[in-house]
Structure 1
Amino acid sequence: MTDILVNEGYAAVGYEYINVDDCWPERERDARGRLVPDRERFPYGMKSLSDYVSTRFVIVVCLLYHFDRPLI
């Protein structure tokens, strides 16, 4: 999605954000009941995704919910 927004000109006209708000966690939580990023969709982790998006956009926001440690 990031590449599409840049390559098709959306970023040039003001689009600044990429939201990952659904379908990012595994179906099952970890042993402590915490959400876990989907290892198939994000094999290199959320940090890698965030790093890539930040190379194409200026703004990267990570909102955490019920995590003991940051995902990025």
Structure 2
Amino acid sequence: MKRYYVSVTETLNKVVSVDAESEKEAKQKVQEAYDNSDIILGSDNFAGETIEIEEDDQYYKSTDNEYDGYYQHID
């Protein structure tokens, strides 16, 4: 049986409103608020997931061996 390394990526999404002179300024203000933890995303903001086979299995295999079972294993 072959071992596969599979990535699970969750996406969180939250829409906020901001007053600004331009789109650029709006993005900057929101980025700053996010960086300052003024915007918190949690499980209520779940927007989906992707599950994909990792192609570079040699990298993951060597890391798994080097750190004695680094990745969670599913039977």
Q: Which structure ranks higher in relative contact order (CA pairs < 8 Å, sequence separation ≥ 6)?
A: 2
Same structural fold, with TM-score higher than 0.5 when normalized by the shorter chain: no
Query: What range describes the TM-score normalised by the shorter chain of this pair?
Result: under 0.3
* Structure with bigger gyration radius: 2
Whichever structure has more strand as a proportion of its residues is: 2
The TM-score with structure 2 as length reference comes to 0.22
Whichever structure has more helix as a proportion of its residues is: 2
The TM-score with structure 1 as length reference comes to 0.22
